[in-house]
Amino acid sequence: MNAPEMPDRPGAERQEPGFDESYFRSWNYESVSFGRFSQYWWARRYYARLARRYQGSGRVLEIGCGLGHLLSRLEDHFETYGIDVSEYAIERARETARRSRLQVLPAENVDTFGPAFFDAIVALHVIEHVGDPEAVLSKCAYVSRPGALLLLATPNLRAPLIRLKGAEWHGYKDPTHVNLKQPDEWCRLLDSCGYRVVKIFGDGLWNVPYLPWIPAKLQLVFFGLPAVLQVTLGGTFNPLRLGENAVIIARKAGAG
């Protein structure tokens, strides 16, 4: 059965992805603070904790490694590899994740590594950028040993406040998001590609402001408290209905 088409994002035309330096200097990163205790810092710390908890050691690949900050947190625990379609990102990542093996490579070519090579794959906000996510996930399974971890994060079409954000919702705002799907559809796709979903949950309501006339910082305190608790405690307890993104923890089938 063919997957349903991605719903049209309001007020924007679909575009072919472009991930040069201008992308990393666009709205995605221009206002991002990389400093200690920033939102970005906490997010990378959180996902590194999840990877260590659910796998702990071995070879890990980050697909779409960006500027390398997550890999740098995994280098003490894993043999780390990173790929990204952006030459600019890989150049920056080499300065950040100095012990990782990095290369410019699209997600579609992840099978270059060969069968059963990795113990864990992390793909945060990547799968929505690829034209054929089923092919990419199948290749992830191919390069993963039985029982290997897959940690995936992607915009959540069940996020409760999408209508309030409209075209400004982060899932719609980025024109390189060419594949947005419902969480249960991602789970079915993972199953068909050789994975079993261990857990799926939300990352919190952090995409403020949602309401006019109320300061964004005040809204972040109110709406973002579950996300703050989850990230601080390293938990996985936020339901999908309290998530701007769906976070999926899966295992390559066949272990044991």
Question: Do the strands 245-252 and 144-155 form a parallel or antiparallel pair, or are they unpaired?
Answer: antiparallel
Q: Which domains does the chain have, with CATH numbers?
A: 21-252 (3.40.50.150)
**What pTM value is reported for the model?**
0.87
**Among 40, 37, 10, residue whose Cα is nearest residue 28:** 40
Average pLDDT, the chain: 88
Element (H, E) at 47: helix 39-54
pLDDT at 151 over 50: yes
| Contact present, 43 and 73 (Cβ < 8 Å) | no
CA dist 178 and 173 (Å) reads 11
CA dist 70 and 44 (Å) reads 5
pLDDT at 22 over 90: no
**Among 201, 240, 255, residue whose Cα is nearest residue 47:** 201
Structure tokens that stand for 20 in this block = 């040069």
The whole-number pLDDT of residue 34 equals 56
Instruction: Indicate the pLDDT class of residue 28, thresholds 50, 70 and 90.
Output: low
Maximum average pLDDT range among 38-42, 144-148, 208-212: 144-148
CA dist 96 and 99 (Å) reads 9
Instruction: Indicate the pLDDT class of residue 256, thresholds 50, 70 and 90.
Output: low
